[in-house]
Amino acid sequence: MKLRDFNRKPSSRKPQAKIILQNDSLEKKYKSQIDDLNTQLGFYRRIEAERDEAKARHTAIDQTLKEERIEFDKCKEEIKALKETIDSQSLKIQKIPVLQDDYKSARGEASVLKSQVDNMSRELINKSQEITRLNTQVENLKVSKQTITKNDREYDLPSDLISINSVSVLDTEDDNKYKIIRRIADNPLVSEDTNP
């Protein structure tokens, strides 16, 4: 055999017989271990699914809890504001009887003042009517001058002169003094004019 032939391998080889080793007891053992592992794997997968579901529920509960806390804080603030309102309203309610008494007394005073104003208004109307009447009388009074002649005691007097309480006549012969007219029954007021 030559060296170059050595590298050549014969193309035909003999088939070798296959040896099959079977260990049934180990196969059963491994198969039972595989089955146990598959059972455990199924159990762990169920636990993992339950864990994922629990995490999702926990997240939802946390979100709900946060929303409830926010709502609770709002309600707490509203309750605080309502308590403050109740306190202020309670103080005002305590003042109501005093204010009612003040109101009643003010109404009584207003009623008295109104009656006083009504009385004053009536008096004012009466005074105004009296002033109007007196102004009319003043306008109706006429001054008439007559010449006095010696030894003549008859003078023309207006008809409305009878209501006058005092009448004076200038007597030029007796120191220029006013004298009472004697025809009036009662004693009227006599006034003298001392001016020249």
How much is the pLDDT for 13? 63
Pairwise pLDDT comparison (23 vs 11), residue with the higher score: 23
Domain that holds residue 135: 25-141
In a domain, 163, yes or no: no
Q: What is the pLDDT of residue 57?
A: 94
Percent of the chain whose pLDDT exceeds 90: 44
1 assigned to some structural domain = no
Q: Are 179 and 168 in contact (CB under 8 A)?
A: yes
Instruction: Specify if 173 maps to a domain.
Output: no
Tell me the Ramachandran region of residue 175: left when phi exceeds 0, alpha when psi lies from -120 to 50, beta otherwise. left
Give the mean model confidence (pLDDT) for residues 170-188: 55
Is residue 130 one of the residues assigned to a domain?
yes
Q: Is residue 101 part of a domain?
A: yes
Q: Determine contact, residues 160/140, Cβ cutoff 8 Å.
A: yes
136 domain residue, yes or no? yes
Q: Is the pLDDT of residue 182 over 90?
A: no
Cα maximum dimension of the chain: 217
The total of structural domains in the chain comes to 1
For 165, 168, 173, 187, the CA distances from 184, given in Å and listed in that order, are 9, 11, 22, 7
Instruction: Read off the pLDDT band of 68 (50, 70, 90).
Output: very high
Is 174 among the domain residues?
no
Whole-number pLDDT of residue 67: 95
Q: Is residue 60 part of a domain?
A: yes
Report pLDDT for 176. Answer: 55
